[in-house]
């Protein structure tokens, strides 16, 4: 949480799954960003927390950008 709040300040956090835009799932060998319905949106193969946060922040920023 600290890494996200430092490197990606536009991301807000909740423990309420129903109110979340994204669910972060940690797995051995990678991290998965999913929708609250369970759809896989992004898979980060990052091996370190710092790189995972960077990957996820970049994905979230691009997903929120107007098209």
Looking at the DSSP bridge assignments, the partners of residue 42 are: 33
Q: Structure tokens of 55? A: 């990957």
Strand order in the sheet with 30-34: 23-27, 30-34, 40-44
Structure confidence at residue 65 (pLDDT)? 66
Tell me, what DSSP letter sits at residue 23?
E
In tens digits, what is the pLDDT along the chain, a chain of 67 residues?
788 888 888 888 888 888 888 998 887 778 999 998 999 999 988 888 888 899 898 888 888 766 5
Residue with tokens 């946060």: 53
**Residue 67 gets which letter from DSSP?**
-
Domain residue limits, the chain: 2-64
pLDDT value of residue 39: 94
């Amino acid at each position: 949480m600290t890494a996200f709040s430092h490197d990606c300040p536009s991301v807000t956090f909740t423990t309420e799954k129903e109110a979340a835009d994204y669910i972060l799932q940690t797995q051995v060998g990678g991290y998965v960003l999913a929708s609250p319905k369970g759809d896989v949106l992004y898979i980060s193969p990052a091996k370190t927390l710092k790189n995972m946060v960077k990957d996820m922040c970049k994905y979230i920023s691009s997903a929120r950008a107007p098209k």
